[in-house]
């Protein structure tokens, strides 16, 4: 394959986890080699045609068991949950570059790189989990992450607001505290993995901010007002709850006014 959208469709059809990772890395390498095309006359597949592996079993958030980081089982369950977030993040990066056409080439390069980095994150976490005698799919996982994609399947500003600038941005708020908890436990391996993920996720959210502003300007929206409107429209429960990491959010392209609105 040499076409970006053919790679995306192959990713969405594939149910084997290892094959999905391999396809993602192959697509990025094909781009790096200057051999990937980004034109397509084929219609975009409906989002309900996207397939997921049979495992893990997906549960509603309220059905997910609560476990503490103070027990080995709790740590394993935590990393299984993070693995699922990163696995769905690969899908989300593929879907935004597949579903929304007629954007500059840089848009497709950026989100393909994100997909490749999310696949790296997933592989790191999975290898870490295997040292705890657990693999991805052995525990249930949160069912709601992909809902953001389905809700915004026809709305690029909505997708950018809800995925990188809402869901992924929460990682900027909570991950520093998690890193400190694992550091206090003397778990250097977990600290290293979470630190790597946090560094990359700042860049992913920054890309979301850049393309959100680009699309708002392209479509004639005032950026901060449109962000508020989209969060009000799509976020169940009003808006995300803090505390918010102002320093990292500002590095990732949030304005003080946006953070003030989230905090109020």
Statement: residue 176 has pLDDT above 90: yes
Residue 191 pLDDT: 98
Residue 61 pLDDT > 80:
no
- Note the pTM of the prediction, 2 decimals: 0.97
Mean pLDDT value of segment 111-139: 98
SS3 content of the chain, % helix, strand, coil (to 5): 65, 0, 30
At 68 the pLDDT is: 84
Give the residue carrying structure tokens 């997933």: 122
Q: Does residue 191 contact residue 179 with C-beta atoms inside 8 Å?
A: yes
Average of per-residue pLDDT values in the chain: 96
Q: What pLDDT was estimated at residue 83?
A: 98
- Indicate if the pLDDT at residue 171 is higher than 90: yes
* 19: confidence class by pLDDT, cuts 50, 70, 90: very high
Work out the average pLDDT over 221-229: 98
Q: Please, are residues 145 and 215 in contact by the beta-carbon 8 Å criterion?
A: no
Instruction: Using pLDDT thresholds of 50, 70 and 90, give the confidence band for residue 23.
Output: very high
Residue 67 has a pLDDT of: 78
Do 102 and 41 meet the contact criterion of CB atoms below 8 Å apart?
no
Q: Confidence band (pLDDT; 50, 70, 90) for 1? A: confident
Main-chain dihedrals φ then ψ at residue 142, nearest 5 degrees: -70, 130
């Amino acid at each position: 394959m040499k076409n970006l959208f053919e790679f995306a469709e192959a990713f969405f059809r594939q149910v084997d986890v290892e094959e999905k990772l391999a396809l993602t890395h192959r697509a990025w390498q094909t781009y790096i080699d200057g051999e990937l095309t980004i034109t397509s006359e084929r219609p975009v597949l409906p989002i309900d045609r996207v397939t997921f592996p049979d495992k893990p079993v997906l549960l509603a958030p309220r059905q997910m068991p609560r476990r503490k980081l103070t027990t080995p089982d709790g740590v394993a369950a935590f990393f299984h949950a993070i693995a699922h977030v990163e696995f769905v993040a690969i899908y989300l990066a593929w879907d935004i570059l597949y579903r929304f056409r007629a954007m500059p080439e840089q848009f497709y390069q950026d989100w393909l790189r994100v997909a490749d980095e999310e696949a790296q994150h997933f592989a790191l976490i999975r290898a870490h989990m295997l040292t705890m005698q657990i693999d991805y799919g052995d525990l249930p996982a949160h069912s709601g992450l992909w809902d953001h994609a389905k809700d915004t399947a026809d709305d690029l500003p909505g997708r950018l607001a809800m995925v990188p600038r809402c869901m992924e941005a929460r990682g900027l708020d909570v991950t520093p505290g998690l890193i400190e908890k694992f550091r206090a436990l003397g778990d250097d391996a977990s600290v290293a993995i979470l630190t790597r993920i946090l560094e990359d996720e700042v860049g992913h959210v920054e890309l979301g901010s850049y393309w959100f502003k680009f699309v708002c300007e392209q479509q004639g929206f005032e950026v901060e007002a449109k962000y508020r409107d989209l969060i009000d429209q799509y976020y169940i429960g009003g808006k995300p709850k803090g505390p918010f990491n102002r320093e990292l959010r500002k590095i990732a392209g949030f304005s003080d006014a946006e953070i003030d609105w989230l905090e109020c």
